């Protein structure tokens, strides 16, 4: 069974939700939007963590709730992620970033205890410095049907592939994999509060689990 998550206040004023109590850490950072709105828990990351935690009892999973979840406040989101990594103490850490969280995770990768970044449909804009990845590893998973549409968030696979290739030019090790038929998200939050998986959610879970097992 999955342990009941515990909630922790971070030094920045953001929040972190912990599942498990292992000697290694996976810090999970969420996507965002243009509007500067209060942070929320990610349905996609929550669904993944609830499925993955029983498979990895040696890992503590930390979900970060930003103070403001907006790419216009990207530096503040990065500060929140750094605070979460540092709150993990001496644990070796994987940064798992979904959507905008990919940019947040990459920017936080220079923390000494971070070994690698795992991006799920990551947003890696051209203006984003990839220098924090030097000496680390970047792996990307992306849904083949992910697209930005009016009113519907998304990141095209071509965009994340371009960001991944920029990292390779810097000598960053890693891999890139498309998930056939997968969309941008992994789960949506139902009106009753629980995350509901989207099509191909199981494929996301299997691939993320394989990545974590190979860390």
Q: Is the pLDDT of residue 189 over 50?
A: yes
Confidence of residue 1 (pLDDT cuts 50, 70, 90): very low
* pLDDT tens column, 116-132: 999 999 999 999 999 99
208: left (phi over 0), alpha (psi -120 to 50) or beta: alpha
* pLDDT tens column, 144-180: 999 877 666 789 999 999 999 999 999 999 999 999 9
* pLDDT tens column, 51-110: 999 999 999 999 999 998 877 889 999 999 999 999 999 999 999 999 999 999 999 999
Q: Which of 105, 101, 55, 66 has its CA nearest to residue 85?
A: 105
Residue 3, burial from CB neighbour count under 10 angstroms (0-12, 13-18, 19+): middle
Secondary structure tally for the chain: helices H, strands E: 5, 10
Domains along the chain with CATH numbers: 6-213 (3.40.50.1820)
């Amino acid at each position: 069974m999955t342990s009941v998550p515990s909630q922790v206040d971070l030094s920045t004023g953001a929040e972190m939700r912990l599942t498990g109590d292992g000697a290694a850490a996976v810090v999970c950072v969420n996507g965002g939007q243009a509007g500067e709105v209060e942070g929320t828990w990610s349905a996609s990351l929550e669904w993944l963590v609830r499925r993955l935690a029983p498979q990895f009892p040696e890992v503590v999973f930390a979900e970060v709730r930003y103070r403001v979840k907006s790419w216009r406040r990207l530096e503040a989101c990065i500060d929140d992620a750094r605070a979460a990594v540092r709150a993990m103490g001496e644990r070796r850490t994987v940064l798992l970033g979904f959507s905008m969280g990919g940019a947040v995770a990459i920017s936080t990768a220079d923390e000494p205890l971070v070994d690698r970044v795992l991006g799920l449909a990551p947003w890696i804009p051209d203006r984003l410095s990839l220098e924090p990845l030097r000496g680390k590893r970047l792996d990307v998973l992306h849904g083949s049907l992910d697209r930005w549409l009016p009113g519907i968030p998304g990141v095209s696979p071509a965009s994340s592939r371009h960001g991944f290739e920029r990292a390779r030019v810097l000598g960053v090790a890693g891999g890139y994999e498309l998930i056939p038929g997968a969309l941008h998200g992994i789960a949506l939050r139902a009106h009753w509060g629980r995350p509901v998986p989207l099509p191909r959610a199981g494929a996301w879970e299997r691939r993320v689990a394989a990545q974590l097992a190979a860390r």
